[in-house]
């Protein structure tokens, strides 16, 4: 079960810096159409589902919203309707179905891709803005106003291996016909890849050394005191 505290934290994350409003504008730019599910409710349900199930599948999000959150939260999010009771309002009927979640995910796919083409840069920027606003809500305000950061990087394997440029082509560009460059070959292969956003790189092995991998670089960044002013009293910096 989701506690009241967990629910309130999820609400804070989507509301504190306007993530819910930006996501609403992304999903319904014309402010028209029938809405069986609020984008804000979807965000909150997704965060809680990730926290409890490690999943954003629509059936898991539906289960969290309709069975795991407190009854008052179901009513507040429009997931259920309440009737009057001497002890206060109680859930009378759950009105959110799995079809509502499925249709909402179809709407998202439609907004993200046009006719099966690659996601437009403006669309990526809009979704990244929503994510950044959620992340910003997790960061406490630094009392000293420091703008220093500590950054670390780790390699994350993609679910499918990428296609390599043939060694003969990589080493001897003159083998290419019709003046096609190596870069153009790589771009063509990326278009045929099932994971075109991934790239080849190197990562540290568990036992030491390095190995080639295909995937992504995940960066972890935390704010830190400036090293040139007043860090002596901070844990780990003294």
pLDDT tens figures, 18-54 = 999 999 999 988 766 567 789 999 999 999 999 998 8
Measured CA distances, 210 to 41, 48, 139, 156, 204 (Å): 43, 36, 33, 14, 4
**Mean pLDDT on 228-236:** 49
pLDDT of 179 reads 55
How many C-beta atoms lie closer than 10 Å to residue 14's C-beta? 25
Q: pTM above 0.85?
A: no
The domain spans of the chain are: 4-137, 148-224
**Mean pLDDT on 211-218:** 83
How many whole angstroms separate alpha carbon 57 and alpha carbon 77? Answer: 19
pLDDT tens figures, 99-139 = 999 999 888 888 887 555 677 888 889 999 999 999 888 87
Q: At what angle do helices 98-112 and 121-137 cross, to 10 degrees?
A: 120
Question: At residue 177, does pLDDT exceed 60?
Answer: no
Q: What is the bridge-based pairing of β-strands 90-94 and 80-83?
A: antiparallel
pLDDT of 237 reads 40
Radius of gyration for the alpha carbons in the chain, expressed in angstroms and rounded: 24
């Amino acid at each position: 079960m989701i506690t009241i505290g967990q629910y309130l934290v999820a609400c804070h994350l989507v509301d504190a810096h306007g993530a819910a409003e930006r996501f609403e504008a992304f999903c319904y730019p014309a402010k028209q159409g029938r809405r069986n599910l609020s984008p804000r409710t979807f965000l909150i349900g997704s965060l809680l589902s990730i926290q409890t199930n490690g999943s954003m599948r629509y059936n898991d999000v539906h289960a969290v919203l309709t069975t795991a959150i407190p009854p008052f939260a179901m009513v507040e999010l429009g997931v259920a309707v309440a009737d009057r009771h001497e002890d206060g309002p109680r859930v009378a009927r759950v009105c959110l179905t799995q079809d509502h979640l499925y249709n909402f995910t179809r709407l998202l796919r439609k907004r993200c891709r046009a006719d099966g083409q690659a996601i437009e840069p403006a669309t990526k920027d809009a979704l990244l803005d929503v994510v950044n606003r959620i992340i910003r809500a997790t960061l406490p305000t630094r009392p000293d106003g420091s703008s220093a950061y500590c950054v670390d990087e780790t390699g994350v394997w993609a679910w499918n291996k990428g296609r390599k440029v043939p060694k003969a082509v990589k080493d001897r560009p003159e083998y290419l016909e019709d003046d096609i460059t190596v870069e153009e070959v790589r771009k063509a292969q990326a278009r045929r890849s099932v994971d075109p956003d991934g790239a080849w790189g190197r990562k540290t092995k568990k036992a030491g050394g390095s190995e080639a991998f295909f995937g992504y670089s995940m960066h972890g960044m935390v704010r830190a005191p400036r090293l040139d002013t007043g860090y002596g009293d901070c844990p780990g910096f003294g």
